Structure 1
């Protein structure tokens, strides 16, 4: 998943704001701080909001406790800040990168039935390559160096058809087409769809640098018709739930963590919650209202609970549509039902 940082410019809490009748102290000021709306304030003014002119262990603890109650952070910390300088009070979720897409899936998730990519060296005979392509039902065979880290070219039925020489003595280098783009196994397949459509396949490298994977247009179609789609749907569903839950204050969300995790330090909101904790939070009327999901709460929670069971059971992809069981088809229906609800709910 690609991500970007979009930290908002802090607003300044001025002396005029401090003197305003509606400013009753530190708590009123902290209520101004929202996700995406940090505030900048002079250190001494922050202390005065708490009724102090100096710092000390007790004063520092009081302010830190109040920050914690509101789910906010102070940088630098009150204790370490320059008395004559400024601090920034913000929601810790502001520091997390914002996803540019709701879901992401690495290209290697579509790995086919073959354990390793079928390839050849530059000296392999063209006749042998043809035999492999027919026997293994392959449309392309990459020509690699001995260590399989350098792509020399790709033999396809088209490149073979373009060869005008004697096939009896031809080698891989004679019948191969030009080199193509080689992706990384972790690259988002959405970014490579155009390449796959254009050249009908894309090769990719494993972490050790070897070219050992391929995704063809045919593989992609089979994966979507099989159970790969449910993985993508689950990622999108969870991403949408996190965005909607993060419309609520951090302390409110933290109340719905498992009791053993409720005192988690540096809790950053929905990104640190489990799916079961999502459900607990969504059962809270105040949090539910904040999400903006304008549908029946009881029905939605029942659907989401079914999704949780599906999610716990999805461990890997089937290799194709022929492997899809009745249970898997039912699971996709369950996930799709809940995803329709979330897609109908604005994220902003």
Structure 2
């Protein structure tokens, strides 16, 4: 691969490695690295090998990842190795060398205007983070930088772009809703007890991205902003009024953002007033399970089933939201609807083709071995129905190119839906599926 081609590849989806800096001539084999933990007075030394690995001294253990090398050297749980290791003869951080590499790569990738735009945007975000004024942006706006609308198969590319500029989002952009505001910041220099994995740098020996993460988290269900609550010394009337004004079924009781005391619900209020006429707020408080925003939703379902809600904390462990069984039901409905619609479309298209054609006619149109109508897929339906002879045989008073174009869209929707990610498909997409289903049912019987 040529230098320019390699640069364009790097900017388009994977993390920069030490070996890239070596190949670009920004480092040499034998370059000395040093990691100083000034707070406790420890110093660790390493050398860059000819293979682009980091060899710790004096034990000789080698790592591709600067972060992994720093973690093992210092015995730390997590550390951003790019900002930990200093290139001794250049007296600058390894991260600075990486930034120079990225600048060169973008400047040689002239036709990749999008990459240049993203690079410059992230450079600005990094500068603000270093100045102590980190940028705040919604997840939806963050995704738009890469020209995408959901967290599908471009997540690895986005994470690589952020990591290459020494940035992370807080909270982690995978584990919250699209409209949650996240901060573009740098990882803590020496995290002792990380509160959430998303705000730490990737430390695996990676070449293509971060850890595999296809979970649906508690934070994916509901934005963690604007939580209404009352204090433990509030009156029961204040709690009831707050619930009525906002149509709440439950209300958090907090002594402070990081000190939940429980919650009140209509049931607990009714039971308290039944037990004790003139009951106060304290008589109606019930236990509330508290979970982190990045907890796997499946792990929390038993608590939701038992208590009907949980309090949710953000990356700083402050209580920022409530997730209820209704929220879970709504999200599962959003995720399940396209599956059922696509299943109905699949069955209907198969039925139409089976009624109109025999297997011998269908087989050569599929471009692959088919020995049963049950083996047909959306790509097969498209190839079969775009055949003019087949279309004429159906006798539909419809425009074939327009129908096939929409069927191709449906095929792409199907592929996207089957590659799970936490974002529900748009209502416009759902409507496309519904309209296409209605059309098929109207003309499903061949003329």
TM-score by length of 1: 0.40
Which of 1 and 2 has higher RCO (CA within 8 Å, sep 6+)?
1
TM-score by length of 2: 0.32
